[in-house]
Structure 1
């Protein structure tokens, strides 16, 4: 990787694995969607989240993420959009009727919705954009002649490790899904719990300040 201007690539991959294994919004969202609607929907959620990571990688390569670091207005606008979206999803889950929670009622539209929501929850989080801008350049060699290419390779590598773990989570959620099929009332409580947690993530994002 030295020829691409990447330093300490092995350490970078280990850091990626540690970061991906740390529970957060992405972990919770994939488990929630796959647990309620099956592993196929969980796979769609995982793809959506990692597609969002691809957007952040491109933004870091192009320097767009730097705008969020220097512009309080841009940071606040994206932050409140992301927070409002999370709160909206959380409230929908909290207030949905029992019939709407049935897996059969959402199976047809679940994959599209899971992908779209996963993508937007990631793209609309300015903290993720700033993370990419702060984390990836640490592994770009100062003497490298193609820093943009190095950033791109590092971003894609991070997405590769993240997608692998996301698919494992979707498979785990699929097992939870089979359990909930036999216990519909438990599924209703899970929806309420998931809605409350997503609502909490949204409120926390709204209260975060620009670093």
Structure 2
């Protein structure tokens, strides 16, 4: 196979995976609707950062350790599960608080320092969620070696394929963010934000519990 054929074939597989609704989609949509467009893009960038790190890890063999070591896989799985349950629980806790959840004021400009801190928080949430999901690493270790042509550098090709996946993900997230932006005026009320947080929190907690209880390796 030529490198171009490899990239196209992997892009097809990664593209189909990207379109499947999951935890990443829920986080980005929640960020876009209940936070801001810039926060959603920061979250999406964090998700892509985590995916790129996993891709590089797979290319250099770190993820092979997860595939070979039950202990390493289990430790990372439990850490990721605990993080997702904690993150989901914080969203659910907000919905149960009696004080009002302030809706995002349209057109309100935040201070530069506050905005940077908020964007960094969104990036950390996206990155942490992806890095602490070992199944992302297993996906890369299971797929990337199959797409590396003979005579090429596994590291360079692995990074290239991970980059393709990240570009596809960012393109999809961009569509979601701008698409949800049109509906934001109807979804930014206190009740709507509580519903969004409830759904996102439930997805996170459910995914975390499933991850912790899943014996599959």
The alignment's TM-score, normalised by the length of structure 1, stands at: 0.89
Which 5+ residue runs of structure 1 have no aligned equivalent?
none
**How far, CA to CA, are the matches of 1:74 and 1:101 in structure 2?**
40
**How far, CA to CA, are the matches of 1:122 and 1:100 in structure 2?**
31
1:23 alignment partner, SS class: coil
Other-structure match for 1:28: 26
Q: Label 1:98 to 1:50 Cα distance change in 2 as closer, same or farther (>3 A).
A: farther
- Deviations 1:59-79 (Å, cap 9, x if unpaired)? 011100000011111111111
Q: Label 1:180 to 1:155 Cα distance change in 2 as closer, same or farther (>3 A).
A: same
Aligned pair partner of 1:172 in 158, 167, 179: 179
Q: Label 1:145 to 1:43 Cα distance change in 2 as closer, same or farther (>3 A).
A: closer
- Kindly indicate whether the alpha-carbon contact (under 8 Å) linking 2:87 and 2:201 is maintained by their aligned counterparts in 1: yes
**How far, CA to CA, are the matches of 2:147 and 2:58 in structure 1?**
14
Residue-pair matches, total: 206
Structure 1 residue 100: Cα displacement: 6.8
Structure 1 residue 46: Cα displacement: 0.3
Which 5+ residue runs of structure 2 have no aligned equivalent?
none
The alignment's TM-score, normalised by the length of structure 2, stands at: 0.86
**RMSD of Structure 2 on Structure 1 (CA):** 2.1
- Kindly indicate whether the alpha-carbon contact (under 8 Å) linking 1:35 and 1:173 is maintained by their aligned counterparts in 2: yes
Is 1:199 matched with 2:205?
yes
Q: Label 1:129 to 1:110 Cα distance change in 2 as closer, same or farther (>3 A).
A: same
**How far, CA to CA, are the matches of 2:36 and 2:181 in structure 1?**
5
Is 1:138 matched with 2:146?
yes
Q: Label 1:110 to 1:173 Cα distance change in 2 as closer, same or farther (>3 A).
A: farther
Q: After the TM superposition, which of the residue ranges 6-15 and 149-158 deviates more from structure 2?
A: 6-15
- Kindly indicate whether the alpha-carbon contact (under 8 Å) linking 1:50 and 1:162 is maintained by their aligned counterparts in 2: yes
Following TM superposition, the consecutive aligned residue runs of length 4 or more in structure 1 with deviations greater than 4 angstroms are none
